[in-house]
Structure 1
């Protein structure tokens, strides 16, 4: 007998079923058996399911004749083999450790009948936003489920016996059948154990969120009425719960651009205290975005229309004295300053194995003085807790969205992020780098001042160590305006975290060059795109070190040999397109070799030094000998002193200071 039986009802799911099954086959826990219930599909759902069943004996398929979701789940239950039950719809998916952690939770607490986690809404473009987790379920399941349903079906692992004692799902429900099940389990005395930092993925599709909101509201009223009665709550409390759910339905409909009409005289107006405004605004924003299949950040360019829609749906539902406060609270969550023209900037953060640094990176972005930001983290197949770290921040800040993909390299991650960004102004920051609080504000001003042909604004940067301490400042380039000649001498921008670009410039450049990763030469994608943008667009400069560029052993820029291969590939493209600048390009390569050799010497990386030195000698023998005899010994001594003292790389006499970022405790700033 398998430990877990997975039940997957599927109807006309040819576009999504494979993703669901792939996520199941990728589970770190292997002791499961799955039943796919093909519920009268008229498309290729059955054929797809059949192919997967042929691939893995743990998968089986049964056929039903369009019985509906509740009945299909019950049919799967009849074929289940496991002592625990897991239900997942055919358009959702789970992370590889999902079943493992839910099972561990149930095993550790033998008194519990269910383990549960949070869930993450995911848009059609793949952006996950506003993760939801309600710990109150573990404390008061009856009270919680009498008023709301904070669970996704695939966020729960159930012991089999209690479900069978209740007779499975109630087929009288067309919607809310899962909520009804959780409530009946709670009323029968079942205990729920929470699994924190785990989120089921809930796919949003146009029309997928219970298209018939009238049916959804009617079913919810039945569940709420029974729950409030069984919990001993007053009729007034039940009416208030009805009013809250009706407001949620109205917000979903508003997000869908649909009319939603109820006789509001049937429900009390919701009175909000000062502390209730923020939670009401958050609930309305969640519902509106779910209906629209958009992230909160994607609403910002449409805020004039969105704010009118929100104000309209609040009329008659929220007490009049609180309506403006709720709309203002939504605006604040989005980084919008009421009455001021808002320029949205999309921030793209490619991340791979970044759980040690991404929290600080996110803090530096969230606390920008320019608050109107869409923050998109693209997790590039990280095997660590990078995604979990991001979701902790996303639970507090709705501007943050998480995208996930198989490992494809930094260029592919950046490209995926900017191509689905909501703004035409896009800034990139690596997941271990930092921004000073005024970076975006100053770049926007510089870009605007540079005129219509401006396609990129960059800042100077400070090198920082693992602790975020400044070890040195970058050189101070003055290149701005038409910079094609200057870029031939090398990457004066310096890194991938210092630039703000326009979508037009990115599209002209063809995005970041992902072929470098495919050729084992990842590293100079930023130089390649800066070069291509410089062919047509002007650069703007903010002459302040507003970017903290982290240099340490193990990050991508520390692999000198791969970086040199990457540089040579990009330089070859530059020379082929502009042979008249070949001399400048060679000078840039000489400078790059010198910098790489000295950096390797400081780290005591003699293997890289031995391989870099012949390249340097072949190109510039006299310069290479000079560096070898004078600067390399000093770099070796500096590095040895650093390793023995445990300090970071910094100039002699340099007083260590931390790179200054904003504080979340002080709010997100009140800038532009």
Structure 2
């Protein structure tokens, strides 16, 4: 950084990459916003087997940069083009942090109150690795706690903060500090399950909201952590359930105990299992904790025997090798051929 002479900086690790158009696209965006301190784009993870995760981008960074970074690290390190003089003035990365140092830096940049401009394209690629520090759940949670606490307090390292951000984030505009840390702890715990561990104290999740409207969002965050921990793209997770499913289900059960609401935890479980099966081709039956994912021949369905503990069916209704419909329903006992026929007839277009 000390040898850089241009106006803009990007930070690119040796095993990551960006599209050839990255600089052109982000510089063009910065020209349209001359008061912006940074531009950012979408990113995708690349797993060791070469599989890509879906594109990820955070529009909220362009709307409320500081309030976003006070609570979470919303962008990949190398998905940003940032003003060099600003980084030098802020002192660069905090070397005392073993992880989350990019988050801490973006938070300080955002505290200045200047604009960030978004390029809504996945131009940055992050190679997931079994040796990545992001898989050290204990260190990640400790460092995240430091960064979030800084985000909700004055930061003497930022000499000229934006007036609205001088005293830190405001709870009126989003999650509290304890809630922000709980959401990060959830991601971290799911990642740990994906690695085959379970070192996160469920009590760290206590501040997560248990309401029905939050179940899908909690499942989405858990899914993202699971991808990183298991080094698996979504299309492969259901097939690899046996590697991490027990630990992940135990985590969700513990979450229900922390909430004092097992039914709320079951809703999270159902949403998570649906997301895994949505991404799967069901080339073989997928037995998860509570859901059985299968293909059913719509022309000649057969009875389905449910394994013990399964109370949800997720099925592709197949016709001539193509998916005609996707159905999901709760069930007790086996699903008979007659039931399948009635269901298929109800879904068939009326003539």
TM-score w.r.t. structure 2 length? 0.73
* Structure 1 residue 444, shift from structure 2 partner: 11
Query: How do 1:28-47 and structure 2 match up within 5 A?
Result: none
Cα distance change on mapping 1:310 and 1:103 into 2, 3 Å: same
CA distance in 2 between counterparts of 1:307 and 1:165 reads 47
Q: 2:12 aligned to 70, 88, 108, which one?
A: 88
Decide whether the 8 Å contact of 2:42 with 2:120 is kept in 1.
Answer: yes
* Structure 1 residue 269, shift from structure 2 partner: 4.2
Decide whether the 8 Å contact of 2:60 with 2:68 is kept in 1.
Answer: yes
Cα distance change on mapping 1:246 and 1:444 into 2, 3 Å: farther
* Structure 1 residue 325, shift from structure 2 partner: 0.8
Decide whether the 8 Å contact of 2:47 with 2:231 is kept in 1.
Answer: yes
Q: Residue 335 of structure 1 corresponds to which residue in structure 2?
A: 277
* Structure 1 residue 274, shift from structure 2 partner: 2.4
Query: Matched residue pairs, number?
Result: 287
* Structure 1 residue 155, shift from structure 2 partner: 0.5
Q: Residue 670 of structure 1 corresponds to which residue in structure 2?
A: 327
Decide whether the 8 Å contact of 1:115 with 1:158 is kept in 2.
Answer: yes
Cα distance change on mapping 1:273 and 1:210 into 2, 3 Å: same
Cα distance change on mapping 1:265 and 1:335 into 2, 3 Å: closer
CA distance in 1 between counterparts of 2:27 and 2:244 reads 42
Whether 2:182 is the aligned partner of 1:240: answer no
- Which stretch of the first structure deviates more once superposed, 136-145 or 271-280? 271-280
Cα shift readout 1:67-102 (whole Å, capped 9, x = no counterpart): xxxxxxxxxx11112111111111111122122111
CA distance in 1 between counterparts of 2:54 and 2:269 reads 18
Q: Residue 435 of structure 1 corresponds to which residue in structure 2?
A: none
CA distance in 2 between counterparts of 1:344 and 1:233 reads 43
Query: How do 1:205-354 and structure 2 match up within 5 A?
Result: 205-229=129-153, 230-233=168-171, 237-262=176-201, 264-265=202-203, 268-303=206-241, 306-317=244-255, 319=259, 320-335=262-277, 344-345=282-283
Q: Which has the larger radius of gyration?
A: 1
Aligned Cα root-mean-square deviation (Å)? 3.2
CA distance in 1 between counterparts of 2:123 and 2:133 reads 19
CA distance in 1 between counterparts of 2:95 and 2:243 reads 40
Q: Residue 515 of structure 1 corresponds to which residue in structure 2?
A: none
Q: Residue 5 of structure 1 corresponds to which residue in structure 2?
A: none
Query: How do 1:648-667 and structure 2 match up within 5 A?
Result: none
Cα distance change on mapping 1:207 and 1:315 into 2, 3 Å: farther
Q: Residue 52 of structure 2 corresponds to which residue in structure 1?
A: 128
Q: Residue 85 of structure 2 corresponds to which residue in structure 1?
A: 161
TM-score w.r.t. structure 1 length? 0.40
Cα distance change on mapping 1:164 and 1:330 into 2, 3 Å: same
CA distance in 2 between counterparts of 1:444 and 1:125 reads 36
Q: Residue 147 of structure 1 corresponds to which residue in structure 2?
A: 71
Decide whether the 8 Å contact of 1:255 with 1:289 is kept in 2.
Answer: yes
Cα distance change on mapping 1:183 and 1:274 into 2, 3 Å: same
Cα distance change on mapping 1:165 and 1:269 into 2, 3 Å: closer
Structure number with greater CO (CA < 8 Å, separation at least 6) is 2
Decide whether the 8 Å contact of 2:196 with 2:243 is kept in 1.
Answer: no
Cα distance change on mapping 1:284 and 1:261 into 2, 3 Å: closer
Cα shift readout 1:148-173 (whole Å, capped 9, x = no counterpart): 11111110001112111112111121
CA distance in 1 between counterparts of 2:114 and 2:207 reads 34
CA distance in 2 between counterparts of 1:142 and 1:543 reads 51
Cα distance change on mapping 1:205 and 1:96 into 2, 3 Å: same
Deviating 4+ runs (over 3 angstroms)? 264-267, 302-307, 315-318, 440-446
CA distance in 2 between counterparts of 1:79 and 1:113 reads 20
Instruction: Give ranges in structure 2 of 5+ residues lacking alignment.
Output: 154-167, 287-294, 303-317, 329-339, 341-351
CA distance in 2 between counterparts of 1:308 and 1:444 reads 35
Q: Residue 156 of structure 2 corresponds to which residue in structure 1?
A: none
* Structure 1 residue 137, shift from structure 2 partner: 0.4
Instruction: Give ranges in structure 1 of 5+ residues lacking alignment.
Output: 1-76, 337-341, 347-369, 373-439, 449-541, 548-660, 663-667
Cα distance change on mapping 1:330 and 1:268 into 2, 3 Å: closer
* Structure 1 residue 199, shift from structure 2 partner: 3.4
Decide whether the 8 Å contact of 1:142 with 1:183 is kept in 2.
Answer: yes
CA distance in 1 between counterparts of 2:83 and 2:281 reads 51
Decide whether the 8 Å contact of 2:38 with 2:115 is kept in 1.
Answer: yes
* Structure 1 residue 441, shift from structure 2 partner: 4.7
